[in-house]
Amino acid sequence: MAVMVAMGKVPFGVLVAYLAGSCVAYVVYVFDKAASLKGQWRTPESTSHLFSLMGGWPGAMLAQRTLRHKTQKQSFQLTYWLTVALNCAALGWLLSPAGMRSVKSFVGFVLGL
């Protein structure tokens, strides 16, 4: 992502959004791992997947690897990788000419331009 920003292919704000989303996702995994070890209330898997879908999947991936959390549950991994694919596809479309036109049109509509 950083390379694409440096090449001017992706707006800097997208990088910031992915970094922020990744930090939030990582923290969610940290709290869920701690709760699982203590037998306390757990974060719903759907919440973890939502953060991945919204762009936090790199942080979720890092958390899975460093914390060894949710790596063995196949149903979770399948859904996780589906959220990664959907997020990447959505980003690819948003950065395409058609996607950019749609974003500009939506922003103009929201701002009343």
pTM: 0.84
Answer for the pair 87, 57: CB distance below 8 angstroms, yes or no: yes
Query: What confidence score (pLDDT) does residue 113 get?
Result: 64
Residue whose entry in the numeric block shows the structure tokens 């922003």: 107
Q: Which residues of the chain have a pLDDT value below 70?
A: 113
Please tell me the distance from the alpha carbon of residue 61 to that of residue 101, in angstroms, as a whole number. 31
Considering only CA atoms, give the Rg of the chain: 16
Task: Tell me if 35 sits within 8 A of 44, measured CB to CB.
Answer: no
Amino acid 82: pLDDT: 98
Count, residues in the chain: 113
Taking the domains of the chain in order of start, what are their residue ranges? 2-111
